[in-house]
Every structure is written in C-alpha cells, then in structure tokens.
Structure 1
Amino acid sequence: MKHLTIIVPNGQSNLSTIASIAGACDVFSRANMYWKDAGKGELFNIELAGISEKADYYGGLITLTPQVHISEIAKTDLIVIPATTIRSYEDAVHGNKLFIDWIGQQYKNGAEIASICSGAFMLASTGLLDGKSCSTHWCVADVFRNSFPNVHLEADKLITDGHGIYTNGGGYSFLNLLIYLVEKYYDRQAAIFCAKVFQIEIDRQSQSAFTIFTGQKLHGDEMIKEAQTYIEDKLDEKISIENLSSRFAVGRRNFDRRFIKATGNTPVEYTQRVKIESAKKALETTRKTINEVMYEVGYSDVKAFREVFKKITGISPLEYKAKYNKDGVV
C-alpha cells in the first residue's frame, strides 16, 4: 500500500486551508473505497501530519489534530500541501523549517508532491521548483514571481505536472487537481467516479476565465509604471509600442527588456491583457454587443479580437458573455 501525507500547518492558515485538507482526505478516501469495491484493495494509507499536537483555525473555531508528527513518517509516496496565507519566502520559512526540510528530503527519497493554491509558496521555499513550472492563485501571482524569480510561474494554468511535482491554481480549483491525481494514481474510471460523486468538472485545464488582471505593479521601475498607466488610460486606442518607447526616450529593445523584467509580460502582451480585462467587465455587466465592446477596447478586426480574447481567457467573447452575463443580449 502506498502512503499519502496531507500536511496540517499550524498558523498562516485560513478556512481554505481546512477545505483543501478535508477535500484531499475526502476525495482520496472515496477513491480508496471505489478500488476496494472493485476488488483491488485500498491504494493509499492516508495520514494527516503536522508539527504540533493540534492546529487551530479561524480564531479557534475549528481545530485539527494531526495523526502523526512529520518526523514519524520515514517514507511517503505523495505529499499534499494545502492552501495557506503565506505570501513570501520570508513567510514560508518562518515557523515552517521542519516542513520545508522534511518535504525536500522526502522528494529526494522518491516522494511526489502536490501543492494546492498558495501552498506553492511553501513548496517553492524548498528550492524544488527552481527552474521548473508551477501555478498558484492568480491574485498572488505577482508576489510569487517577486519572491521566487527562479520559478517559471504559469498562472493561467489550472494544473502543472512535471518531475513528480504537481501544482494548481487558486481557490476550490484544488478539487480538479485531486481528480487529476486520482486518475494518475488509480485509473480513469476511478477519476470519473469521484468526479461524479463530488460533482467536479473533469479535465478542466485553465483558470484563465477566472483571472482578474490588475496589472503587475509590484516592481521598482518608475518608467515602466508610467508606461503601464499610459496603456491603461488609452484603452480605446491602438497603441504603437515603438511610439510608446519613444515617449520615454528608450530604444525598443531596451524598453521591451525592462518591461518584461518588471511585469513578466512583453508590452504587447500587457496591452492585450489590459484591453481584454476591460472587455470582460463590459461583457459581464452591460448589454453591449461583442462588436461594441471590441471597438471600445481599440480593436477593429473581429477575428483578431476573438483570437486574443480566447488566448487570454480560454473561451470566446460570445461564450464568456453567455457564461457571466445572465441578462446580456448578444
């Protein structure tokens, strides 16, 4: 039988921490039952592990009692790191050194690791994500990039999978990661069964449609901040990046380099994201047609607008409006 360790952090947690711990335990327990009923036996021995006798959440409203101290687990096959309130490398290492060292050692011993939402901060603090891809909640993407510049953050992805390390996006999308892991470790039929029992949409790959783009401003390059403000103030115009770089008396190549370093996007990508975010809000809250919205954000070609919109959100403008504007008329 394989061993599954679900980490129970003490502190730096919220109700999402509880949800992801309980959800992981519930989904894997049900997958175990499915396999047992099919005559295959339970696949995982599931244990909640911590570094204290109990962990209080939400002002003591909820208390979890870990079954074992992590030091008692010499070897495990899969580790699940739940969501936390950790928002920087400093937060992660404060009070979590035992977790971080133990996770790193278990990975060296062959364990695979899955982080849920902002649990990616604790995982990244082990150094195991350096040079690798990961995802986390879109709302902490900027902070994560600044804290872990050696990690390739793919914030649009719902799930990343590589080198025995799995990460997922934000919020309750962790349920999609759990179904993904059930298929990986059990089989497709077990995953379908659990998806039906818990009513989780199977095979979802992107969190793009849920992302609210606010612009990456947590950097110290004042010129780039001014450029960002200019882009955001000219939504209805077709912006020339050549002209924009000229406004700041900087060559295009150097301008692009500084923009990417500061924001994680090229100027063109940033302009597209700002425009599409504005278009999304219009599609959500108004009765304007797709064409009206398209013109308001500086596009004149329907095909180009549709392609950029789908690239960023994962769905077409028409699908987006149908999904998020109950009263909208296309």
Structure 2
Amino acid sequence: MKQVVIIVPKEYANLASVTGAFQILARANGYWLGLGNKPKMEVRIAGFMTELKLDGGFFSIHPVNIEDLPKTDLIIIPSVSHEYVNVIKHNAVLINWIREQYKTGAEIASICTGAFLLAATGLLDGKICSTHWNAASEFKRLFPNIELHTDKLVTADQGIYTNGGAYSFLNLMLLLVEKYFDRATAIFCSKVFQIDMDRTSQSPFFIFQAQKNHGDELIGQAQAFIEANLSAKISFEELASKLAISRRTFDRRFIRATGNTPVEYMQRVKVEVAKNTLEKGRKTIFEVMNDVGYSDDKAFREVFKKITGVSPLDYKAKYN
C-alpha cells in the first residue's frame, strides 16, 4: 500500500489545496475498495507542527508528526503564501526532508506556488515545472536554473509533478489518481468532482502584466510607445532610431528588461487588449482585430491562439 503525505509547511498553506487533494485521493481509494480491491494508498496530512491556523483563525489543520511516518511513496506540497522568501526560510527542515525522501524513491507533486518550496530543494534544477502564471516572474528571479512552463497545466519530469495555478490542481490530482489507481478511477473522480479532464493549459487564464519595474528608462519609453500605438504598424528600426540606439542594442536591452523580444511584447499587449474587448462582448472579432492593428484575420487568429491556447471565437464564447 502506497504511503501518501500531504505536507503542511510552516507559515501560510492554502487550505483548499490540502483538503482538495485529501478528498480526491480518499474518494479514489474508496471507489477502488468498492470494486473489491485491496486499499491502494494511505493518505496522511503531516508537518513539523501540531496545528496551523489559516484564514484569520477561521480554519486550522492538525497534522501528524512527519517524523513518525513510515517510508513515503508520494509527497504532495500544497500552495503556499506569496511571501516566498519567508516560506522557504522558515521551512528549511521540511525542505531537507523532502529532498531526502526523493533520494530514497518518493515521488513529489507540488500544487500551484508550492513549486517554490519544491524548487528550494534543488530537485527541480535542470527540470521543467509549472506554477501560477502570476508568480512566474518571481519564480524565474529566485530559480533561474529551472525551466518554467507557465503555459502547461501539469508537468511530469522524473517522478516530480507540478501544476499551474489555483484550482487547476484538481487536474494534477486526476493525473495522480490515474497513475496510482487506473484510468477508470480517474474518470470516476472527474465525474464525481466535475473536473474537466481535457484541460491541458492555463494559458487562457493568463493576464499579461507588462514588466515595468526593470529600471531601464529607455525601454520604458519604448513600452509606452508600443502600448499607445496598438493599431499602428510599428517599425522597431525606426523606434530604435528615435531612441538613439542601434536596433541590436535595442533588442538586447528590451529582452533583458521585459523577458520578451519587442515583437513578442507587442503581440502580448495586443492580445491582452483583444481579450479584454472580447470579454465585454460588444464588438465582433473583426472589429477587435482591427482595433489592435491586424488586417489579416489568419495572422490574428494564429497569434491569439499561440498566446492563449484558444481561438478568438472560443475565447469570446467562454468569457464574454
């Protein structure tokens, strides 16, 4: 029987990701037993404290002592507070425990921003992972050696699983249910908890937030120019000339400051404006396309889908 531990880190842990993970795995185990099988796993909630109060004290978790547990087969790390540096600082012992468990054969799954705690173990270095799109910039700053894929809803790499943001962890749990039980049990859980099994990306939920705190005044001027001229055809050669730098230097500084090439940045800004307009539902897709400077509907659809993962028509139908 597999030993599964949902860990409770010191400082803030997201209650929903703890209870949600527990309930789905418990229900999967119950379904499995109901088919006449032996129990597949034992799920415990554990940590290095006896109580953790959450959400202003309205809720509390009472984990078992993690040092009293037998060998662990699967560790689930819940979402954590946005004070990432403090969370890592106050959980050094837990981070070391996770690292040692992986070395002895345990698999690890992190939920949303739990990826920060997982990354602090060093186990993600050279591997791919995902986390909430809203935490991507801070994650890249703290862990530059990890290949972050915020477009992916779930990643799997050498016994380490991660997922995107918020309640997308439900899809991660279905993946684990399928792995540790079978496909039929995962389908059962998807129906009982009403989780869409076909979701593979968090891109449709991404809200582009322009990187403006880089301190490069010249690139800040370029960003402002792009954002003020969305419907115009922008020549980056001319823009670089206006800013009195070479195109090559302009591109290098732009990428360093924003993490995007000038063309990528322009596309992301255009798509974000298009998304906001489509959500309001008052304009046709053709009108929105023209508003953000596209005259070729095929090109607009391709760029929109590349960034969001869905077509403009599907996006409008889903969110207006």
TM-score between the two structures when normalised by the length of structure 2: 0.95
Corresponding residue to 1:81 among 74, 77, 80? 77
Which position in structure 1 is the counterpart of 2:51? 54
Distance 1:58 1:197 in 2: 27
CA contact (8 A) 1:130 1:151 kept: yes
Which position in structure 2 is the counterpart of 1:216? 211
Distance 1:73 1:254 in 2: 56
Deviation per CA, 1:50-105: give whole Å up to 9, x if none. 111111111211111002x22223521111110111443x2232211111111111
1:216/1:42 CA distance change after superposition, 3 Å? farther
CA contact (8 A) 1:131 1:151 kept: yes
Distance 1:73 1:220 in 2: 49
Q: Which moved more, 1:230-239 or 1:250-259?
A: 250-259
Corresponding residue to 2:247 among 247, 252, 257? 252
Q: Which moved more, 1:161-170 or 1:193-202?
A: 161-170
Distance 1:140 1:193 in 2: 32
CA contact (8 A) 1:32 1:42 kept: yes
1:170/1:291 CA distance change after superposition, 3 Å? same
CA contact (8 A) 2:255 2:262 kept: yes
TM-score between the two structures when normalised by the length of structure 1: 0.92
Corresponding residue to 1:137 among 112, 132, 138? 132
Runs of at least 5 residues in structure 2 that lack an aligned partner in the other structure: none
Matched, 1:149 2:163: no
**Partner amino acid for 1:234?**
N
Matched, 1:239 2:254: no
- Kindly, what percent of the aligned residue pairs are identical? 58
1:300/1:5 CA distance change after superposition, 3 Å? same
Which position in structure 2 is the counterpart of 1:106? 101
Which position in structure 1 is the counterpart of 2:61? 64
Distance 1:290 1:30 in 2: 43
Distance 2:126 2:250 in 1: 25
1:257/1:129 CA distance change after superposition, 3 Å? farther
1:101/1:275 CA distance change after superposition, 3 Å? same
CA contact (8 A) 2:304 2:310 kept: yes
Equivalent residues in 2 for 1:230-309, closer than 5 Å: 230-309=225-304
Deviation per CA, 1:160-213: give whole Å up to 9, x if none. 111211111111111111111111221111110000000000131011111111
1:244/1:39 CA distance change after superposition, 3 Å? farther
* 1:245 CA displacement: 3.0
CA contact (8 A) 2:80 2:87 kept: no
SS at 1:292 equivalent? helix
Matched, 1:226 2:225: no
Which position in structure 1 is the counterpart of 2:6? 6
* 1:153 CA displacement: 1.4
Which position in structure 2 is the counterpart of 1:27? 24
Which position in structure 2 is the counterpart of 1:328? none
SS at 1:117 equivalent? coil
Runs of at least 5 residues in structure 1 that lack an aligned partner in the other structure: 326-330
Task: Tell me the number of residue pairs that the alignment of Structure 1 and Structure 2 aligns.
Answer: 320
Distance 1:74 1:229 in 2: 57
CA contact (8 A) 2:81 2:87 kept: no
Which position in structure 2 is the counterpart of 1:18? 15
**Partner amino acid for 1:252?**
R
CA contact (8 A) 2:10 2:87 kept: no
Which position in structure 2 is the counterpart of 1:37? 34
SS at 2:118 equivalent? helix
**Partner amino acid for 1:204?**
R
1:208/1:148 CA distance change after superposition, 3 Å? same
Distance 1:111 1:220 in 2: 43
CA contact (8 A) 1:11 1:56 kept: no
Distance 2:213 2:274 in 1: 24
1:151/1:246 CA distance change after superposition, 3 Å? farther
CA contact (8 A) 2:11 2:87 kept: no
